[in-house]
Amino acid sequence: MAPEQSPQVVIRNVAVFDGSGSPREAARAVVVEGRQIRWVGPEAELPEWAVGRVIDGRGGTLLPGLVNCHVHLCSDGAPDMFAQVAHDTIVWSALRGYLNIQATLEAGVTTVRDCGEADNVAIDLSHAVDEGLIDGPRIRAAGRVITMTGGHGHFIGREADGPYDVRRATRAEIKEGAHFIKAMATGGVLTPGVTPTQTALQPDELDAVATEAHNAGRRTACHAIGNAGIKNAIRAGIDSIEHGFYLDDEALQLAVDRGTYLVPTLIAVNQIVDNGRAGGIPDWVVVKAESESGHHRESFAAAVRSGMKIAAGTDAGTPFNSHADMPLELSLMVDYGLRPVEALIAATRNAAENLDMLDKIGTVEVGKLADLIVVEGDPTTSIKDITNVRVVLKDGVVYRDDYGARA
Ligand SMILES: [Zn+2]
C-alpha cells in the first residue's frame, strides 16, 4: 500500500548498525517518512512505494543519531570555564549555546542532555529547537544544578542546604522547565575551593532530590567523584552517576543492583591534563585534574568489568572539550575497556535509556524518530571511523548530506 503524500527520504547502499546490539548488516536501506523510520531491510527488497529523496550512503555505516548525555551548551571549551561563566550575560550564553548546538549536530549528535548552566538558557534553547526557530539537536536540560552553599558548580547552580531547602530548589527547577534534575554529591575540578573527593549534598539532601524529581516524573543525575558521595547518590536512588572517579566493589554492586548508569566523561579530565597550564587553564584546575586522572581511568575500567550500565557523555564545554568531540570520548572508552560496539551502544541505545527516551530514539527501528547518521567506514571495528560523519538526519529532516552536496 502506498502511503499518503508525506515526504520520504530513502537512504540506500549502507550497512546498518541499529544500536540494539545486533551485528552490523551490509547492503541495507532505510526509508524515512515524515519524522519517523518507516522501513528498514535489505536493499534488494526495497518496497516499490519507497520513493522520494534518495541518499546514496556509498557503502558507509548508518547508525542511530548519537546521544551525548553530558554537555554544557552555554560553555565552549574556554581554558577557564569559571571565568567565562562569570563574564557572560544571558545573551552571551545564548549565543554560545547557539553556536555549540550547530557544532553538535554537524558531528552527528542528534540529542544532548545539558547538565547545567547559569540562567536556564539551555531550557530555552530546547524550546527554540522544538519550535523550529533554530536548527539543533534535541535538548534535555537540567537548568541550574542543585548544589550546597559554596559547593561545586555554584556558578551554574542553585545553592540549597538541608533537605527542605533542597526540596524547594528541586521543585523550583522543575517549575522553570527542567527536563531532569542535576545535583552535586561531591566537590569537583572546575570550582575553586572544593576538592573533588569531598562529599557535598548529604544523604538526606540527595533523598530529597530523588524523591521530588521522581514524583514529578523527572530523572536525576549526580555529579559524583569521591567514593562516599558516589554511594550516597546511588543509595538515594539517583539515576546516573556523572564522572565516578572512585567506584569500588561496593559502589559497583549497588549500581548494578539498582540499574544506575555511569556517564564517565573520560575526555574532560584528559583535555585538562593534555592542555594544562600552557593552554591557559588555571593552575588549581590542572593540579586537581592531574591528581585524579589515573583514578578516573581505573574506575572506568572497573565499571566495565562489573557490568554497570554505561552511557556516553563528554562534559563538552569544559576546558578544550568542544561540542564536536564525541568521537574522542568513544575512542577513550575503547582505549580503557569497551569494545567498539559497546562504545557505540553507550552513545545510542544506552544513552537514550538514560534519558528515558528509548521509546523514541536510540536505535534504528520502524516507528522511532528518524535520527540517523551515515559515517564513512565501519566504526563497529574501528571506532575512529565515527569521526567520518557524512549524513545527519534529525526528526526526519536532512541536516547534513555531504554526498548530495558533491553529486
Ligand atoms: Zn559537567
Q: Cα(185) to centroid of ligand 1, in Å?
A: 13
User: What pLDDT, on the 0 to 100 scale, is given for residue 3?
Assistant: 44
* DSSP-derived secondary structure for 188-257: -SSSTT--TTSB-S-HHHHHHHHHHHHHTT-EEEEEE-SHHHHHHHHHHT-SEEEE-TT--HHHHHHHHH
- Calculate what percentage of the chain has a pLDDT beyond 90: 96
Q: What is the pLDDT of residues 42-61, one digit of tens each?
A: 999 999 999 999 999 999 99
Task: Report whether CATH 3.20.20.140 matches the domain 66-354.
Answer: yes
Looking at residue 23, what DSSP letter applies? P
Mean pLDDT of 198-216: 98
Q: What is the pLDDT of residues 253-273, one digit of tens each?
A: 999 999 999 999 999 999 999
Q: 16 pLDDT exceeds 80?
A: yes
Q: Cα(249) to centroid of ligand 1, in Å?
A: 25
Q: Where are the CATH 2.30.40.10 domain residues in the chain?
A: 8-65+363-406
Q: 4 pLDDT exceeds 90?
A: no
Q: Cα(369) to centroid of ligand 1, in Å?
A: 27
Q: Cα(72) to centroid of ligand 1, in Å?
A: 6
Cα distances (Å, whole numbers) of residue 8 to 29, 48, 317, 363 = 13, 13, 36, 19
Q: Cα(245) to centroid of ligand 1, in Å?
A: 14
User: What pLDDT, on the 0 to 100 scale, is given for residue 2?
Assistant: 47
Q: Cα(253) to centroid of ligand 1, in Å?
A: 24
Q: What is the pLDDT of residues 271-281, one digit of tens each?
A: 999 999 999 99
- Calculate what percentage of the chain has a pLDDT beyond 70: 98
Q: Cα(223) to centroid of ligand 1, in Å?
A: 7
User: What pLDDT, on the 0 to 100 scale, is given for residue 407?
Assistant: 45
User: What pLDDT, on the 0 to 100 scale, is given for residue 357?
Assistant: 98
Q: Cα(224) to centroid of ligand 1, in Å?
A: 10
Q: Cα(73) to centroid of ligand 1, in Å?
A: 10
Residue 141 in contact with residue 123, Cβ under 8 Å? yes
User: What pLDDT, on the 0 to 100 scale, is given for residue 330?
Assistant: 98
Q: 40 pLDDT exceeds 90?
A: yes
Q: 8 pLDDT exceeds 70?
A: yes
User: What pLDDT, on the 0 to 100 scale, is given for residue 197?
Assistant: 93
Q: Cα(289) to centroid of ligand 1, in Å?
A: 14
Q: What is the pLDDT of residues 347-378, one digit of tens each?
A: 999 999 999 999 999 999 999 999 999 999 99
Please state, rounded to an integer, the average pLDDT across all residues of the chain. Answer: 96
User: What pLDDT, on the 0 to 100 scale, is given for residue 404?
Assistant: 85
Q: Cα(316) to centroid of ligand 1, in Å?
A: 8
Q: Cα(133) to centroid of ligand 1, in Å?
A: 27
Query: 312 Cβ partners below 8 Å, 6+ apart?
Result: 66, 67, 68, 69, 263, 326, 329, 330, 333, 343, 346, 347, 350, 351
CB atoms under 10 Å from CB of 69, counted, come to 29
User: What pLDDT, on the 0 to 100 scale, is given for residue 406?
Assistant: 52
Q: 321 pLDDT exceeds 50?
A: yes
At 6, the pLDDT band (50, 70, 90 cuts) reads low
User: What pLDDT, on the 0 to 100 scale, is given for residue 354?
Assistant: 98
Q: What is the pLDDT of residues 124-164, one digit of tens each?
A: 999 999 999 999 999 999 999 999 999 999 999 999 999 99
Q: Cα(315) to centroid of ligand 1, in Å?
A: 5
Q: 185 pLDDT exceeds 90?
A: yes
Q: Cα(31) to centroid of ligand 1, in Å?
A: 36
Q: What is the pLDDT of residues 89-112, one digit of tens each?
A: 999 999 999 999 999 999 999 999
For cell 549534598, the residue is 201
Mean pLDDT of 311-325: 98
At 7, the pLDDT band (50, 70, 90 cuts) reads confident
Q: Cα(115) to centroid of ligand 1, in Å?
A: 6
How far apart, in whole angstroms, are the C-alpha atoms of residue 53 and residue 269?
A: 43
At 230, the pLDDT band (50, 70, 90 cuts) reads very high
Q: Cα(47) to centroid of ligand 1, in Å?
A: 45
Kindly state the cell numbers that stand for 284.
588549581
How far apart, in whole angstroms, are the C-alpha atoms of residue 172 and residue 130?
A: 23
CATH top class, domain 8-65+363-406 = mainly beta
Q: Cα(204) to centroid of ligand 1, in Å?
A: 23
